[in-house]
């Protein structure tokens, strides 16, 4: 099926779409927090980088990153259409993630980044290792 918009118009539309949150991964992580009785987290905390969850008193920021959007190689999915655009988009996201981590660490925060794929049951050991640090600090 062909697009009703020109390539330029579609590109413009897609560039204006901004994510407000990654609800499915955040909800999965909330269920993990409940499973391990991890309490004291907040969402929508106003701090540089907009972490998905923060533990203010401990200065821990948690990000749940989508594997495609943040360049994780778990699926090796590379779009064939507009490949250069997507490559640049993902590289910008990775660069921004690096800068956010660097800034938060500089001001005394610990950063935990959880990949979307780590929220799957077959990767629970990886997720637990990341949360183990969190469990020790809470």
Strand order across the 110-115 sheet: 53-55, 60-65, 110-115
* pTM of the predicted structure, to 2 decimals: 0.79
Separation of alpha carbons 32 and 14, rounded Å: 32
Question: For the chain, what are the domain ranges?
Answer: 21-28+52-137
> Which of 50-57's residues contact partners 24+ apart within 8 Å by CB, and which partners?
51/104, 51/111, 52/21, 52/22, 52/25, 52/26, 53/26, 53/29, 55/134, 55/137, 55/138
In order along the chain (138 residues), what is the average pLDDT of each group of 10 residues? 75 68 82 89 94 94 92 80 87 96 97 93 87 70
> Looking at residue 20, what is its pLDDT?
55
CB atoms within 10 A of CB 127: 19
> Looking at residue 21, what is its pLDDT?
55
Q: Does domain 21-28+52-137 have CATH number 3.40.1350.10?
A: no
């Amino acid at each position: 099926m062909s697009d009703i918009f020109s390539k330029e118009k579609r590109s413009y539309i897609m560039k204006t779409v901004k994510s407000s949150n990654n609800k499915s991964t955040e909800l999965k992580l909330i269920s993990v927090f409940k499973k391990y009785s991890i309490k004291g987290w907040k969402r929508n905390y106003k701090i540089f980088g907009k972490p998905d969850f923060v533990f203010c008193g401990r200065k821990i920021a948690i990000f749940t990153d989508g594997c495609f959007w943040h360049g994780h190689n778990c699926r090796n999915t590379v779009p064939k259409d507009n490949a250069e655009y997507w490559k640049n988009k993902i590289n910008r996201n990775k660069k921004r993630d690096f800068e956010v981590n660097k800034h938060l660490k500089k001001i005394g925060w610990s950063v935990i980044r959880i990949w979307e794929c780590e929220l799957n049951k077959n990767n629970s050991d990886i997720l637990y290792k990341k949360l183990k640090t969190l469990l020790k600090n809470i």
